[in-house]
Amino acid sequence: MRFPENFLWGGAVTAHQSEGAYDIDGKLPSVCDLLARDDASNFHDGVDSYHRYDEDFALFEEMGFKSYRFSIDWSRVMPDGFHFNEEGMAFYDRFIDSMIAHGMEPICSLYHFEMPMVLYEKYNGFYSRIVVDQFIKYAYKMIDRYGDRVKKWISFNEHNGILLDGHKLAYGAICPEGVKEELFFHQLMHNSLYAHAKVTEKVHTIENALMLGMVLYIPHYSASCHPMDELAARNHMAKTNVFLDVFVHGEYSPYFLKKMKHDQTMPVMEDNDLKIMKENTVDWISLSYYNSDIVQYDSHHSYHILNNPCLEVSQWNWSVDPVGLRIALRDIYEKYRLPVMVVENGLGVEDIFENGTVIDDKRITYLDAHIKQVGKAIEEGVDCRGYLVWGPIDILSSQADMNKRYGMIYVNRDNNNLRDMNRYKKKSFEWYKNVIHSNGGLIDDE
């Protein structure tokens, strides 16, 4: 199997899961500090990429990375939510310059849950237009500062995740007393989509710069051939498609607008919001992909999300469905006809470190199967521009758990002991290196 010339192989991380240096050079707390699980660790030290990024980039260069997705920690460059911190911004100058020197094209996520804590505590995060305005101010500054070197931008990581109850703190917000919860989530959605449109407007003032609208894409299959199961699955997918519709068409889908009006959950919109959204659409669509689910209708006109009994599950009980990634790519491309890019995909497992390495055959099998399906989607006509492994080096999980490792490079620390945080190549390191150097030729296309 061969991939297109200039296909962007690489990896992706966040600032808060990797950098550490939580109280250095002016940085203040962020809302991601609220996401750490009590029985895990915290994000204070990460894997010390703040000090070791040159070392890490050299390893990624050895693997042959063409691209690297990272996030800017908003609480590092604008610690109090209102004023910029030159030391924090200078760090990202050095970071980006080193990345480019090691042969990688930067892809920058402007929001990956690193909101300054004060904007949550005083204003309730993206529920407030004050915070929306501060995010736009921050984003414009970052685009002005780094836009000569960064040409691919993502406004919000997994933007549709804002509708998930477990993600509300990631957007610095809690539902005010007396407000219907669904209305609360729709207000978060609208405020952030307006902010996304304003940031897209700014990106398009930079020569050759592209905006990549991003969603977490989970294909939801009907639990049976019963039409009501199929309808329930489609209704659930509408929660993802509403973001894609705004990204590409600049407007909410007729179905979603009708539903919000019917349910009396229409968010408050300011006069020019819809005009700005309509005028500022994306250039590419990007997605994270980990699993699929099935949807079963119930008699209360709702539905249940279930694991698919036809699929194996990972150690963390996520279904393993490589074909689902192919389905996702085809669904998106056939509906929206824009270039797509997989900017997150990987397998989290508890690795066993022995004799200076990890024999991570499960990870290799997982990645091989998913990359193969990306290749098949391309053969079927999908214009897919790249594939990024999530956490190419071990980082803390989204809940600050070091036991759940995704990397092809082992970092010597755990939840309770930072140790020396030295880096060691896993078996998957050489495997991915060979995949990239063969431009996918190592992947069996059967």
pLDDT tens-digit readout, 92-120: 999 999 999 999 999 999 999 999 999 99
User: Pick the residue with more confidence: 197 or 37?
Assistant: 197
Give the C-alpha separation, 396 to 138, whole Å: 26
What mean pLDDT is predicted for residues 360-371? 98
Q: Which two tokens stand for residue 395?
A: 């980082």
Confidence of residue 40 (pLDDT cuts 50, 70, 90): confident
Confidence of residue 446 (pLDDT cuts 50, 70, 90): low
What mean pLDDT is predicted for residues 38-48? 93
The strand ranges marked E within 144-283 are 152-156, 210-216, 220-222
User: Per-residue pLDDT for 52 more than 70?
Assistant: yes
Judge whether 45 lies within some domain.
yes
The pLDDT value given to residue 197: 99
User: Per-residue pLDDT for 301 more than 80?
Assistant: no
The pLDDT value given to residue 118: 98
7: left (phi over 0), alpha (psi -120 to 50) or beta: beta
Judge whether 427 lies within some domain.
yes
Judge whether 443 lies within some domain.
no
Q: What is the DSSP letter of 235?
A: H
How many domains does the chain fold into? Answer: 1
**CB contact at 8 A, 373 and 326:** yes
> Which of the residues are catalytic?
158, 344
Instruction: Look at strands 340-344 and 284-288 and give their pairing.
Output: parallel
CA 329 to chain centre: 16
The pLDDT value given to residue 35: 87
User: Per-residue pLDDT for 257 more than 90?
Assistant: yes
Q: What is the DSSP letter of 313?
A: B
What mean pLDDT is predicted for residues 326-355? 98
What mean pLDDT is predicted for residues 127-139? 99
Give the C-alpha separation, 389 to 406, whole Å: 9
User: Per-residue pLDDT for 444 more than 90?
Assistant: no
The pLDDT value given to residue 1: 87
The pLDDT value given to residue 370: 99
Give the C-alpha separation, 302 to 443, whole Å: 41
On average, the pLDDT of the chain sits at 97
Residue environment code for 183-200, b if the CB has 16+ CB neighbours within 10 A, otherwise e? bbbbbbbbbbbbbbbbbb
Give the C-alpha separation, 329 to 382, whole Å: 7
What mean pLDDT is predicted for residues 36-52? 94
User: Per-residue pLDDT for 441 more than 70?
Assistant: yes
Judge whether 89 lies within some domain.
yes
Judge whether 446 lies within some domain.
no
Domain that includes residue 58, residue range: 8-437
**Which domain CATH number covers 202?**
3.20.20.80
Judge whether 445 lies within some domain.
no
Which residue(s) pair with 221 in the sheet? 294
User: Per-residue pLDDT for 150 more than 70?
Assistant: yes
Q: What percent of the chain has pLDDT over 70?
A: 100
Judge whether 2 lies within some domain.
no
Judge whether 392 lies within some domain.
yes
